[in-house]
Amino acid sequence: MIDELRIRDLGVIADATLPLGPGFTAITGETGAGKTMVVSALGLLMGERSDAGAVRTGASQARVNGLVHTADPAVAEIVDELGGDVEDGELVLSRTVSAEGRSRASVGGASAPVGSLTRLADRLFAVHGQSEQLRLRSAAAQRDTLDRFGGAEIEATLTEYRTAHRNRRELGERVAELTAARDERAAEAARLRAELDEIAQVDPQPGEDTELAARIDLLSNVEALREATVAAHEALATESDDPMSRDAGSLVDAAIRDLERVAAHDERLGSVLETLRGVSFQIADSGKELAAYVDDLDVEGPGELARANERLAALNALFRLYGVDAAAVIEYSARSAARLTELEGDDDLIVDLAAQLDIVTASERALADQLTAQRTAAAAKLSQLVTVELRQLALPDAEFQVLVTPLDTLGNAGGDEVQLLLSPHPGATPRPIAKSASGGELSRVMLALEVVVAGVDPVPTFVFDEVDAGVGGAAAIEIGRRLARLARSSQVIVVTHLAQVAAFAGNHLQVVKDSAGGFTESSCRRLDGEARLAEMARLLSGLSDSESALEHAAELLALREA
């Protein structure tokens, strides 16, 4: 419920505060006073598109503030998500529009995207005006109205249906995609098999390319290695029979023998002697290793070098195609094998997905049929209740009918076309309200629908912009009565030019135009007593002091008490 609305510099309204509160509020005023700006202000609070042209001439910006009472936990959750607060059930909403066209919003004291106002409006408000009457002509809006009346039962089935519908579409797209790409997948699989066969024939091993390069370097220099190692071996431990030949091992051994003869006389020579003995062992070991190395070199020859070069050439051929080294080729092979497994399993996957698709399609159809049955039952009840309402709204012979027609194709909301039909008099063929209802009749149909639907799906606040357009006399009185009835369960705010409607309001506000000073400026005031009678008389006759009009106004106000 909107407790208070403040409007500044919007259209002709300089600064106006509207005390709204619960129940039925009627807003009246002279033509051009700015009544429509009240609806525009409420629209801004609901996230509707802003218009820089609506900023009052000479002002830098227009601003609308609304104090809303709410106990809806979903609203509190949205506000908390936006960083705002709902304090003791009170929520402050604001919207500013600059003369340059920039728009800002605030929710619960925190800056918020303008779109967040729309999210809140879906929970808080329902606005009905000429645009809503036009919207009600659409098939989707008519179906949504029936679904609202159907309540939780249709909502639950529709939610379940939409899940099945989404799953069916996703599965269908996946099956179609796999089926359409079957030739491409076959070609890809053949290519991968050929590549894997080529790699398997070479069978690269991790680090093999590095090892081969080192081996080839060794085999290419085997003679130089042999000459050097033989010379080194001779220097360490010669095998010559020449008694004058002296190698490193013989020299060290001679030094050891010389020191052993005198070491007992000076302990300082002991450490030197131990070092030389260690050197003697190392020289002997190195000589043996060199001898073995020379023997190995004798085994390696040109044949092994040729084989190593051939192997490295085969690896390099793979590197040019599949990776910079053996590790990269092995990784590519693993990825290709996994992809090939996936491709080879696609045919089985198509079969499995197709089976799933059949199941989901059957579920979707069953839920669509369930929706049709529920909508058909709800349509019968809605038709009867709205017809009764219309007879109370000065359409005594009208017959309202909600027609549910199953379609062959299924959409996001099921497979039903819903039409709201009206037969204005006996014997007339029911026709879509867009074709059979006049402006006044359409206003009454819309009001009758809201009164009935609100009984099962109440909205906190209804805003009606001239719902009585094209209506007068007894029909206008009945519209007033129905608005008052709707106000028992919801806040109802009505912009009207009919005294017959305003008479049933518990709160009457007047938008007052002041043209002093050469420009028009409007404000708002609450009417009671004589002031309200005068405004009612003006609405009836155009004269606020006409005796007959004042009497008629008093008579209308008495209807509310009856």
Q: Is 509 helix (H, G, I), strand (E, B) or coil?
A: strand
**What is the DSSP secondary-structure string of 334-362?**
HHHHHHHHHHHTHHHHHHHHHHHHHHHHH
- The pLDDT > 90 percentage for the chain reads 26
Chain-centroid distance, C-alpha 264: 96
What's the pLDDT score for residue 245?
60
pTM over 0.85: no
For 263-281, what is the mean pLDDT? Answer: 85
For 270-290, what is the mean pLDDT? Answer: 86
Question: pLDDT-based confidence at 46, cuts 50/70/90?
Answer: confident
> What values do phi and psi take at 102, rounded to 5?
-75, 145
Q: Which structure tokens are listed for 528?
A: 């009671």
Q: What element of type H or E holds 4?
A: strand 2-10
Mean pLDDT of the residues in the chain? 84
Question: pLDDT-based confidence at 302, cuts 50/70/90?
Answer: low
Question: pLDDT-based confidence at 373, cuts 50/70/90?
Answer: very high
What's the pLDDT score for residue 517?
52
Q: How many Å from the N-terminal Cα to the C-terminal Cα in the chain?
A: 26
- 13-to-16, 34, 63, 519, 536 alpha-carbon distances in Å: 7, 7, 11, 11, 22
Q: Which structure tokens are listed for 37?
A: 């700006």
- The pLDDT > 70 percentage for the chain reads 91
Residue 313 CB neighbour total at 10 angstroms: 10
Q: Is 420 helix (H, G, I), strand (E, B) or coil?
A: strand
Nearest to 419 by CA among 141, 99, 119, 219: 141
CA angle 481, 484, 486 (to 5 degrees): 110
Q: Is the pLDDT of residue 129 over 70?
A: no
DSSP conformation class of 246: -
- State pLDDT tens for residues 377-432: 999 999 999 999 888 887 888 899 999 999 989 999 999 999 999 888 887 888 88
